[in-house]
Amino acid sequence: MTQSENTPTALTEGDAVLRACVRRTLSIEADGLAALANSVDGPLGHAIEEATRLIETARGRVIVTGMGKSGHIGRKLAATLASTGTPALFLHAAEAGHGDLGMVTPDDVVLALSWSGETAELGDVVHYARRFAVPLLAMTSNAESTLGRAADVVLIMPRVEEACPNGLAPTTSTLIQLALGDALAVALLERRGFSASDFRVFHPGGKLGARLLKVADLMHQGEAMPLVRLGTQMAEALIEITGKRFGCCGVVDGDGRLVGIITDGDLRRHMGTDLLPRPVEDVMTASPFVVQPGELASAALGRMNRRPVPVTVLFAVVDGAPVGILHIHDILRAGVV
């Protein structure tokens, strides 16, 4: 690399203006988030408590609706709720009056997003909710708006400065809608005691699903496990090792508890003309490294790699008895890294 490549390039006037614009935008939006956080100590906090109670006791789903940028935020909010244990779907406000109101049942809760509270397209949804006594939550900055007055609970967002220099493009306002929606979803998640295991049920695919896989999801069980009993001759143990293709063999006592393991390394250390007739307890490594079937596969992989001598295969045990065997290739094939 040349000296010129190591030397920072002087900012042009245009670059300096650009960076100032970015910093101003982030500063304005950060102020908006701070104002939202401070609002939780006032009426907004009480409204969130009421909203969570309504959603928790509902027998149906949360129907999130909105238009324009608020609609985009609503779509994301519905997806977040659904993935964290609160059944939800997004209802496009403009499509609602053309048949999509059929998605809404009396068991549901409607959550309508509108910064101004005067979004005309929400009229059909609001009228339907009032007509059929469907609980209506409003996320708006104007409690006295049409939407605010119609709602059972109003999540009042603070009036904030838009980052747009013209004060027109929804920027800070959509950010705090997004943040308030996330806060509501996380509050519901925690109140429901939603766990990582629950999360995996809704995220079985992709890297997230792989990270939440447990040893029990990947291990080989039953006859697939290479096992012999104490007292077995090494000749028979070698047949078990070869036939099961894990490169090892577990040794169990009379009660079925795992007391040792025979690996390729053990075989090399004891190689000799007297190997085949010897009992397995003469060759095995006692007290082998094991895991629990409920342990995350990613944690098991980390422990395998942190061993003084890294291992590539291990047994899963319950009360000392082997219930499965896991190879490092099983973990890597599942995408756990």
Q: Residue 308's pLDDT is what?
A: 83
From the list 125, 123, 150, the residue with the least C-alpha distance to 138 is 150
Taking only the tens place, the pLDDT of each residue in 242-289 is: 999 899 999 999 999 999 999 989 999 999 889 999 999 999 999 999
| Region 234-249 average pLDDT | 94
Residue pLDDT, tens place only, 9-56: 677 888 889 999 999 999 999 999 999 999 999 999 999 999 999 999
The domain covering 13-194 belongs, at the CATH homologous superfamily level, to Glucose-6-phosphate isomerase like protein; domain 1 (3.40.50.10490)
Which pLDDT does position 205 carry in this prediction? 56
Q: What tens digit of pLDDT does each residue of 280-308 get? A: 999 999 999 999 999 988 888 888 888 88
- Over residues 57-83, the pLDDT tens digits come to 999 999 999 999 999 999 999 999 988
Q: Model confidence over 118-166: pLDDT tens digits?
A: 999 999 999 999 999 999 999 999 999 999 999 999 999 999 999 988 8
- Residues 6+ positions from 306 with CB-CB distance below 8 Å: none
Q: Which two tokens stand for residue 154?
A: 């109003």
* CATH node for 215-333: 3.10.580.10
pLDDT of amino acid 195: 60
For residue 31, which phi and psi values (nearest 5 degrees)? Answer: -65, -35
Structure tokens at 302: 């980390």
The confidence score (pLDDT) of residue 207 equals 53
Name, in order, each residue with C-beta under 8 angstroms of 96's C-beta and a sequence gap of 6 or more.
Answer: 65, 121, 124, 125, 128
The reported pLDDT for the residue numbered 15 is: 87
The burial class, CB within 10 Å (0-12 / 13-18 / 19+), for 175 is buried
DSSP string, 42-85: THHHHHHHHHHHHHHH-SS-EEEEE-HHHHHHHHHHHHHHHHTT
Overall average pLDDT of the 80-98 stretch:
92
Q: Which pLDDT belongs to residue 95?
A: 94
Per-residue model confidence (pLDDT) at position 1: 47
Q: What is the pLDDT of residues 171-216, one digit of tens each?
A: 999 999 999 999 999 999 888 876 665 565 555 555 556 667 889 9
Q: Write down the domain spans for the chain.
A: 13-194, 215-333
Report the predicted TM-score, pTM, of the whole model to 2 decimal places: 0.62
Nearest to 57 by CA among 163, 153, 198: 153
Is the pLDDT at 336 greater than 80? The verdict is no
Same fold, 13-194 and 215-333: no
Residues in the chain: 337
